[in-house]
Amino acid sequence: MTRVIYPGTFDPITFGHINILEKACNIFDEVILAVAHDTGKQTGFSLEERFMLCEQATAHLPNVKVSTFEGLFVDYAKAMECRIMIRGMRAVSDFEYELSLALTNKKLSPEIETIFLVPSLKYMYLSSSMIRQLATLGGPLGDFVPPVVADAMKLKYGKTK
């Protein structure tokens, strides 16, 4: 069985993330969607909220398991007996950060490989930070996130359509 981990903040999970997950599910037996506790970012949703939203948004994918982790990703990957990390690559602007992350993880744990997946064209521009900004300004979210996420953002930000 081939197990991979797709780590991230997922604040919130978007259709772009789900598109990457669907692609990974077609390639690998098990995909662990690992919601990071330590993000270095100010998150809109708590770890528990992000976990619940990810579980609900991926319920249609039977080979996805949602979990959370703290600390270094490579330590989590070792604990999960997993050697492959999935990352989404939207645009050239992602390349430098994602390459640095992959090389740092490789230095910390040489057995970890990073595989980059590109989302479908209609999701190339999506980012969680853009969705959070859209929600705070009262914009519509239906084309960007699953209904459960849009509802949670409406409750959190109180302005979305």
Q: Which residue among 41, 60, 122, 161 is the active-site one?
A: 41
* Catalytic residue flag (residue 37): no
CB proximity list for 47: less than 8 A, separation 6 or greater: 35, 37, 68
Helix H or strand E segment including 108: helix 92-108
Distance in angstroms (rounded) separating the CA atoms of residues 14 and 120: 13
User: Among residues 50, 87, 128, 132, which one is catalytic?
Assistant: 128
Q: Catalytic annotation on 23?
A: no
Q: Which of 87, 107, 106 lies closest to 97 in space, CA to CA?
A: 87
In the set 23, 65, 90, 106, the catalytic residue is 90
The yes-or-no answer on residue 17 being catalytic is: yes
Active site residue 106: no
Catalytic residue among 17, 50, 87, 132: 17
Tell me how far apart the terminal alpha carbons of the chain are, to the nearest angstrom: 43
Residues marked active site are found at: 17, 41, 90, 128
